[in-house]
Amino acid sequence: MWKLLHKLKDAVIYDADREFYAKVFPDSVDSKDLMRMRKMDHADLTSVLKIEELNYEFPWSEGIFKDCFRTMTYTSWVCEAPDDNIVGYCIINVAAGEAHIMNISVNPTFQRQGTGRKMLEHLIEYARPRAEKIFLEVRPSNPGAINLYRKTGFREIGTRKNYYPAKNGREDAIMFELDLVPML
């Protein structure tokens, strides 16, 4: 039922010109502009778990994703390619005037093509009217993500020692913050 509702919504806000120009003039439209964000539902878990396992040595379990659905302050999204394939997902927690990005993951086939940036920008815009700041953690061994966060305006605010599981024990996390309220 949810898939049908998402398809109806997409039909109503469908940008036919963008799709047309992408087919006729392939270089005229950035591939990330053809991707769509929508809220994740239980039917998406098979695709989401595949991406999770492709990207992480210690992936989240199906139970963790289901807990995200049950927690009222968490909102989960998927990013779909024009062919309706899920190419990434992201999860944010918003409570008490703060937002925390819990997970952003892109299918390796679609990495370095703007999908991660599209999801990050989507989360920032989602959080902006709901929070004053947005936080996230990232592995120091993930320079691509660190670069994306810095380019998007996040600033490093500290380190969480032994935050992530790793092959040989634990890995620290770099903490980042972005102010969502414009400075006067």
Give the model confidence (pLDDT) of 134-153 as tens digits.
999 999 999 999 999 999 99
Say if residues 130 and 109 touch (Cβ distance below 8 Å).
no
Residue 58 has a pLDDT of 94
Q: How far is CA 79 from the centre of its chain?
A: 8
Q: Among 132, 36, 128, which residue's Cα sits nearest to residue 78?
A: 36
- Decide if pLDDT at 97 tops 90: yes
Active site residue 57: no
Active site residue 149: yes
Q: Find the mean pLDDT for residues 24-48.
A: 79
Residue 48 has a pLDDT of 97
Which is the catalytic residue, given 137, 163, 171, 177? Answer: 137
